[in-house]
């Protein structure tokens, strides 16, 4: 089994491929930060507020989420 790093390009690309390219790559890049919000690298990001909004929308299946709710 191949393990992919959460940082870098692999995770956004895998999400992009898995989701059949339904969103732009920046959306998947933002989602790939999910679970890393407490890291120092994440804390240093300048667009953290926008990323947090995307993560929370998807994590809590809010009305602004772009994904469909799992059954």
Any domain includes 30: yes
Residue 49: predicted pLDDT:
95
Within a domain: 42: yes
Q: What is the model's pLDDT at position 10? A: 60
Tens digit of each residue's pLDDT (9 = 90 or more) over 1-53: 344 444 454 677 777 777 777 888 888 889 889 888 999 999 999 999 999 99
The count of domains in the chain is 1
Q: Please report whether residue 69 resides in a domain.
A: no
Enclosing domain of residue 18:
10-59
Q: Which positions ≥6 away from 51 have C-beta within 8 Å?
A: 30, 33, 42, 45
pTM over 0.85: no
**Does residue 54 register a pLDDT over 90?**
yes
DSSP of 41-57: HHHT-TTHHHHHHHHHH
23 falls within a domain: yes
68: in domain: no
């Amino acid at each position: 089994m191949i393990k992919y790093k959460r940082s870098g390009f692999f995770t956004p690309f895998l999400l992009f491929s898995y989701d059949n390219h339904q969103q732009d790559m920046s959306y998947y890049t933002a989602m790939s930060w999910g679970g890393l919000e407490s890291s120092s690298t994440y804390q240093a990001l300048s667009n953290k507020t926008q990323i947090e909004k995307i993560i929370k929308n998807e994590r809590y299946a809010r009305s602004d989420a772009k994904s469909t709710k799992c059954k």
